[in-house]
Homo-oligomer: A and B are copies of this chain.
Amino acid sequence: MTDFSSVAMMRQNTLRRVLREILLRGPISRAELARITGVSKPTMSEVFRELEEDGWVQVSGRRQGKVGRSAMVYSVAPQRALVFGADVGGTKIRAALVDMTGEIVAETVVATEPSGGDFVVAQIADLADDLAREADVGRSRILAGTIGLPGAFDAATGRLMMVPNIEGLEGSAIRDRLEARLGFSVSIGNDVNMAAKGEQWRGAGAGLSSFAFIALGTGIGMGVINENRILSGARGAAGEIATLPVGADPYDSRTFRSGALETAVGSAAIKDRYEALGGERDLDVRRIIDRLSEDDHRAARVLDEVARCVGAAILAVCAVVDPARVILGGSIGSRQEVLSRVRMAVAGCMPAPPSITISQLGSRAGLLGTLAEGSENLWNELFEADGDSGLVRQRAGGEAGEVA
């Protein structure tokens, strides 16, 4: 909305406007920016002085070769503001730091603390410290962070519900706990939603404003992006498609709690189906899919059945949210053998099926999503928010200083 109209706010706005343009347009001179934005040259110089003093921009060269005086070229100091992202899974935590230009300056993977709860919170905080050290930047330069977690984060109550795999987080005010430990503003996202966001940032969803990401592995889950926003639902449970009435009778008491679709296409279901057809016992799902190349007709039949269920699920998803594309991920969903069968199935039940592709980022999708989400939040805070974004501290009798 419109910001405060006080005189002091005007400079704050100019600072934001100029910094944003430098970020968007890359290395640029003051005169050039003055022409583009309409801000006068004297003001531009003054603004650059403040931004440079505060460490936001730095000289990155001189423009030469053209007629006239050579220009000082400035660019944003990428490490002035960093964003922390972490994708917390039941077994692994992936974490990284990204700078303002979108470059990942440090990344790591560790095993999740099996004790869960506060141990995981502490572990995440340590990761932030480690990464800052690794990237050789001040810890205080991390201004925002996003944590991806399995489960539904209810923004209204601030609590994380339905958390599988990690002990001691069910019903926890995880955001507040993390903020207290990390010392910067934290947002929480569902792991599959984050994977969708990641694919949009630099994966199979690049350039799309509305699409769905379906993670098909042990279980099944979905993240939907609609008009560039994550579809969250009233309790943060949107995309929990395990319960879709597909593959089994939804009114059957056996599927009442576990979810019809998941009992039809989850890893356990695939194994069960394979064994029921007389296939080898205790075989990993990956191995079952591998056997397709050995002309295992049982594996082929099982996969066909699974694909028909996934196809119907995609039909349902398209009926409700109309995605431009469906991206398949997860250990099963990202198999080419599954994709081709799903495409076939979808062609059999939809007159105008969406494009269907495989995740480009694999297991890193979730992490990249948290980085994208965190960067977006920081961007909004710096450039879109009302009032004082704390870009450059108001000088009250002193020098300009740190960020809020």
Contacts and interface: CB of A to CB of B under 8 A. Distances in A.
Interface string A210-233: 110000000000101011010111
A13 B17 contact: no
Interface string A308-344: 1000100111111111100000000000000000000
Contacts of A229: 227, 229
A83 interface: no
Given A348-B251, A350-B243, A238 B320 contact: yes
Contact of A319 (B5, B7, B244): B244
Contacts of A13: 2-3, 5
Interface residues on A, range: 35 or more
Given A226-B233, A245-B312, A240 B2 contact: no
B231 A231 contact: yes
Copies of this subunit: 2
A109 interface: no
B17 A320 contact: no
A320 B322 contact: no
A233 B349 contact: no
Interface string A97-120: 000000000000000000000000
Given A226-B226, A245-B312, A351-B256, A234 B2 contact: no
A351 B349 CA distance: 29
A190 to B, nearest CB: 11
Contacts of A121: none
A6 interface: yes
Contacts of A227: 229, 232
A365 interface: no
A10 B11 CA distance: 11
A279 interface: no
Given A209-B234, A226-B232, A241-B319, A349 B256 contact: yes
19 contacts: A1-B384, A2-B17, A2-B20, A4-B17, A5-B10, A5-B14, A5-B17, A211-B234, A226-B231, A233-B323, A235-B324, A240-B319, A241-B319, A243-B319, A243-B350, A245-B316, A250-B349, A261-B319, A317-B320
Given A251-B312, A251-B349, 4 more contacts: A227-B229, A240-B322, A245-B349, A320-B320
Interface of A: 1-7, 10-11, 13-14, 16-17, 20, 38-39, 208-211, 222, 224, 226-227, 229, 231-246, 250-251, 256-257, 261, 308, 312, 315-324, 345, 348-351, 354, 383-384
